[in-house]
Amino acid sequence: MTTVETNAAASYQRFMPAEHPVQYLAPDGTGVESAARYARTSDDRLLEMYRAMVHGRRFDQQATALTKQGRLAVYPSARGQEACQIAAALCLGEQDWMFPTYRDSMALAARGVDQVELLGMLAGYWHCGYDPKQYHVAPQCTPLATQLLHATGFAYAEAKQGRDTIALAFCGDGATSEGDFHEALNFAAVFRAPVIFLVQNNGFAISVPLARQSAAPSLAHKGVGYGIGSEQVDGNDPIAMMSVMDEAVNYVRAGRGPVVVEAHTYRMDAHTNADDATRYRKAGEVEGWLARDPLSRLDSYLDARGVLTDDLREQMTTSADADAAALRAGMNVEQSVDPEDLFRFVYSTPTPALLEQREQIAAEIAAGELS
């Protein structure tokens, strides 16, 4: 092999993900030997993560119940993906921004977004129930992969203005089949945009299994072709998730370019309340993943280390139940909707057609034709 070939191979290898997903905890919560180079996070941070996961799961359960009660039009549960979302949210600085999908509500809750505001979009009250600038969280995106372009452009602009800001872009495995995914990665790599692409690979793009989406060794390998440092991690291992995400944040903040992190995980529930997952998932598949539940996994680990006591566990559960009660009460208050909101925030300077439509709606309301 020539010197040029050797250098090219070395350069290529530095972008490569681990052969197997990074893992520090076995499914039963006991530690495993790992050759991964990532620094393990402290017990204090893991306890903070556990608290956020307890609250996140209780929020998810309550949102699912609200959907069945007709308070939400739809809700995409993320039960089973707590470690992915919450580790990512907790690793960011206050100045950083998140660009979430419709399924990343637990990450938003961990970021501090008001839970009633968080569900405003799914209740049909408003395009986005919270103020993105207040929380540094962009509106949740329903179209696949569009938020990746938003995150990349935002991160690039922040860097151009000399700001110490990272953009964290969430997506699922299905989004990696979209053109926007590849365009975002290519632009981010070429212009070294400070963005982390977190791919939550839960095995299905609605009903399409991963094997029908990609033949790559892993989805993390898709970053390698664009010259992006990439990694794959056990997304149901809270310690591994925190360790890998901490390193990703440090790498990007140091100006070394973007990162792709693939988190191998699983959604325990259907795609949404409108989906019947039994039509495409094998019997017993969910039970197999329940044995790898991230919350139980971290509970066992912290309990064995004497960090998580029964009293502390009860306090967290009680606090999460109180938040759920407040969410129920908040969602049972009817929101007033102003038809004028249909026309606000569309263009900075309204077009003639938009003004004409607004006047038409106003006239129909005044005439009692609409209420």
Domain boundaries defined on the chain: 7-337, 339-371
Condensed to tens digits (0 to 9), the pLDDT of residues 155-213 reads 999 999 999 999 999 999 999 999 999 999 999 999 999 999 999 999 899 899 888 99
Q: Which residues contact 124 (CB under 8 A, 6 or more apart)?
A: 73
Distances (CA, A) of 63 to 68, 73, 206, 266: 9, 11, 19, 19
Condensed to tens digits (0 to 9), the pLDDT of residues 10-64 reads 444 568 999 999 999 999 999 998 878 899 899 999 999 999 999 999 999 999 9
Residue 5, pLDDT > 50, answer: no
Catalytic position from the list 57, 264, 271, 292: 271
pLDDT bucket at 371, cuts 50 / 70 / 90: low
Question: Is 226 considered catalytic here?
Answer: no
Residue 6, pLDDT > 50, answer: no
Fold that domain 7-337 belongs to in CATH = Rossmann fold (3.40.50)
| Contact between residue 198 and residue 259 where contact means Cβ atoms under 8 Å apart | no
Catalytic position from the list 45, 79, 182, 280: 280
Distances (CA, A) of 235 to 21, 86, 223, 305, 365: 9, 11, 18, 22, 51
Find where tokens 């203005």 sit: 161
Question: Is 267 considered catalytic here?
Answer: yes
Residue 287, pLDDT > 70, answer: yes
Catalytic position from the list 267, 292, 297, 301: 267
Percentage of the chain with pLDDT > 70?
A: 96
Residue 119, pLDDT > 60, answer: yes
